[in-house]
Structure 1
């Protein structure tokens, strides 16, 4: 495995700035998740708000991706393309995934939003996915933590609640690049046995399915859905390993 870059204090500050803008944008976008609102309306807001605050939406044009953010509903695991034809309805669970570039550095975050009253299963999945992310973050901050400890902690939570962990997508290092080393697996694994070092900056972004973990990509080349049609939920933060543990870099100011 290639040595994972240790970021300088200045780089971390710039990532923190980008992360704060991404987080603030995400909060406001989440407030729009109401019945009758199209995902395109939310996406246009994200693009406008980011520009108004001197940022760039990293997703737009990334390997040809057409919109400012990814908005994934119900059985969509990730990379849902916003559309005027996709209208939110009561009972939907929605993931909004935003990556912002500010002063050349990236901040990447996502969260789940419930539209109206959702089913008991949907709420449990949303809550468990958040807890799984938090446990992954906790594991990354432990003394002597190794990269594979993150996935092991997340898998334990999913197993305990009867959900599965998607293995087709993972977290990643981040900084000047949108996706840098290492790959951060969210399932039980023995990959990347090296220690997480102070100054490593990366994302943890587990995707949990109510059914089996398999996914497939639709004909648009982006939208990933559960193979069995079950619900999926994801949460994400960008963070840095410090001497004291973990500092989350995608928090609002």
Structure 2
């Protein structure tokens, strides 16, 4: 069931999303060669506590405050003292804050050091596909318009593999709500976009094939061919006459 949010609920979600944008501004400049993903996770948890929030992922029993995925890890990478960041890595930070019961959800992929040109291009394309998906997220259109917009950039324009096993979703009062927001054309439900809907739009784009597999830890999703993957995400709220990017993160240093 799709949960349309009222003005009070959207305001609560907005506050959570603004706190999350501040978290990214805090943590991204600190992502460096030699850090462990556990150290990054500790920074995220410290910030959340400082604003009176808790990790949204705790609602789903994820063993960390942030999903931190490196290179061929698509999503849900578990923070670890043993997982060290190296020069040339891309690191996706998928983070959500539970602030007074309101959930935010956003992802940014950080390029660390001397990233290869072909991987920089992948990151650029993923960000571009997210922008296209958001532009298609307008009251009166349908979910599949978002899917087509993302796919037209990532796959049709750039030729990358668009992950189909995982997708965006409704968010705000819980971590994962209806509707699903696929990143590629598919059959199935195609609801009309309505004012009051709050969606997490999140392209997951692979350098190679779109296929993925689950790691032995039961959480981490890997590319099937071992090639890098990029993940970008914003939480947006749909209104009658506009769509607001609630997790907009202006003022970030240029980590590209």
TM-score, structure 1 length as denominator?
A: 0.95
Matched, 1:150 2:146: yes
Report how far residue 57 of structure 1 moved: 0.6
The answer (yes or no) to whether the contact 2:57–2:175 under 8 Å persists in 1 is no
Q: Hey, what does 2:224 align to over in structure 1?
A: 227
Residue by residue, what CA displacement relative to the aligned partner does 1:26-47 show, whole Å, maximum 9, x if unpaired? 2222112211111111100100
Residue of structure 2 equivalent to 1:39: 37
Question: Could you tell me how far apart the structure 1 residues matched to 2:236 and 2:18 are?
Answer: 12
What's the RMSD between the two structures over aligned residues?
1.3
CA distance in 2, matches of 1:225, 1:26: 24
Offset of 1:233 from its aligned partner? 0.2
Partner of 2:253: none
Q: Structure 2: give runs of 5+ residues left out of the alignment.
A: 251-256
| 1:148 and 1:191 in contact (8 A); partners too | no
- The C-alpha deviation readout for 1:141-181, integer Å capped at 9, x for no partner, is 2x631111111111111121010100111111112211111
Runs of 5+ in structure 1 lacking a partner? none
How many residues align structurally? 249
Q: Partner residue of 1:182?
A: 179
Query: Partners in 1 of 2:164 and 2:90 — Cα distance?
Result: 21
Partner of 2:18: 20
Q: Which residue of structure 2 aligns with residue 132 of structure 1?
A: 129
Residue of structure 2 equivalent to 1:116: 113
- Aligned-residue offset at 1:190: 4.1
- Could you say which residue in structure 2 is the equivalent of 1:217? 214
8 Å contact from structure 2 (residues 24, 249) kept in 1 = no
1:82 aligns with 2:79: yes
Conserved? CA contact 1:148–1:190, under 8 Å = no
Secondary structure at the residue paired with 2:106?
strand
Q: Is the 8 A contact 1:24 1:251 kept in 2?
A: no
